[in-house]
Amino acid sequence: MTLSGHDLTIGYTDHVVGRHLDLALSGGEVLALLGPNGGGKTTLLKTLLGLLAPRAGEVKLGGRSLTGYSVRERARLVAYVPQSHVSTFAFTVEAVALMGRTAHGNIFSRPTAGDRAIALRMLERFGVAHLRERPYTMISGGERQLVLLARALAQEPQFVVLDEPTANLDFGNQGKVMREIRQLAASGHGVLFTTHDPNHAMRAADRVYLLRGGECIGEGPTSTILGRPQLEALYGGPVEEISDRSDGRTAFLPG
């Protein structure tokens, strides 16, 4: 199955954010969306999720137009992990994960024992099952991100779309989230994430998509696309490239 955008014009009623955007994501693959602030990353993400209608062009899911899916059908195929935030109400971690089962019941149905088992299994997968009785508002930012990942997987989707999954996380948790993203792809999910850090794309992504000023200025395998000239063009500033002589891996530093 493929999630793809074809000649997309994205934006809101009062202004267009980007034009002529084409991209595709297959199962088992990780695609990273890189670009400066205001470049259209989040707008593109929302368009691909079907939360924002494209101004022109089409989003396709499994060969069918995304507009042909009901909200519920869509949620069973594509899950969204928003930036971790503090919710208004102090739901338990378990209740938050259980919300991922929403699309599998009807509008009046209560969660079944099966739903609870799936939610709990996902919390276990991300190592946060011990927090299940704790209020979601009282756990750390890193733990919240993992709970949101568990909620997304409880949807049993084919695709997982993450908006800056490493923002507001400490160094250790950033690594954990990157490893989990690789795990998702290994289990057959198509993963799309935005990030401010090219090193995270180097770590976790098979392919990258560079978005600047609403235009795609580069797309392809991470190892060939991510280099100093491309990043300098993308962010409009100097970038330093550091290579490890022993295995040839690279990392980037701003400035």
Partner 1 sequence: MPRSAVPGLLIALAILIAGLLLALTVGRYPVSISELFDIVAAKLSGRAPDVPAAAVNVIWQIRGPRVLAAALVGASLAIAGTAFQGLFRNPLVSPELLGASSGAALGAVIGIYLALGVFAIQAFAFVGGLVAVSAVYLIGSAIRARDPILVLVLTGVVIGALLGAGVGLVKYIADPYNQLPAMTFWLLGSLAAINVADLIPLFGPVALGTLVLFALRWRMNVMSLPDEEARALGVSTGPLRIAIVAAATLVTSASVAAAGVIGWVGLVVPHIARTLVGPDFARLVPAAALLGGGFLLLIDTLARNMTAIEIPLGVLTALIGTPFFVWLLASMSKTWS
Which residues make up the interface to partner 1 (CB under 8 A)?
46, 49, 51, 70-72, 74-76, 78-80, 82, 85, 87-92, 95, 99-100, 102-103, 105, 107-111, 133, 135, 151, 155
Work out how close the CB of 14 gets to partner 1 at its nearest, in angstroms, rounded to a whole number: 11
Work out how close the CB of 65 gets to partner 1 at its nearest, in angstroms, rounded to a whole number: 17
Residue closer to partner 1, measured from CB, 21 or 97: 97
Work out how close the CB of 93 gets to partner 1 at its nearest, in angstroms, rounded to a whole number: 11
Distance of CA 59 to the CA centre of its chain: 17
Work out how close the CB of 96 gets to partner 1 at its nearest, in angstroms, rounded to a whole number: 9
CA angle 87, 151, 160 (to 5 degrees): 115
Residue closer to partner 1, measured from CB, 97 or 201: 97
Residue closer to partner 1, measured from CB, 24 or 99: 99
Work out how close the CB of 137 gets to partner 1 at its nearest, in angstroms, rounded to a whole number: 8
Residue closer to partner 1, measured from CB, 89 or 171: 89
Residue closer to partner 1, measured from CB, 112 or 224: 112
Work out how close the CB of 8 gets to partner 1 at its nearest, in angstroms, rounded to a whole number: 18
The string of DSSP codes covering the chain is -EEEEEEEEEE-SS-EEEEEEEEEEETT-EEEEE--TTSSHHHHHHHHTTSS--SEEEEEETTEEGGGS-HHHHHHHEEEEPPP---SS--BHHHHHHGGGGGGS-TTPPPPHHHHHHHHHHHHHTT-GGGTTSBGGGS-HHHHHHHHHHHHHHT--SEEEESSTTTT--HHHHHHHHHHHHHHHHTT-EEEEEES-HHHHHHH-SEEEEEETTEEEEEEEHHHH-SHHHHHHHHTS-EEEEE-TTT--EEEEE-
Residue closer to partner 1, measured from CB, 105 or 220: 105
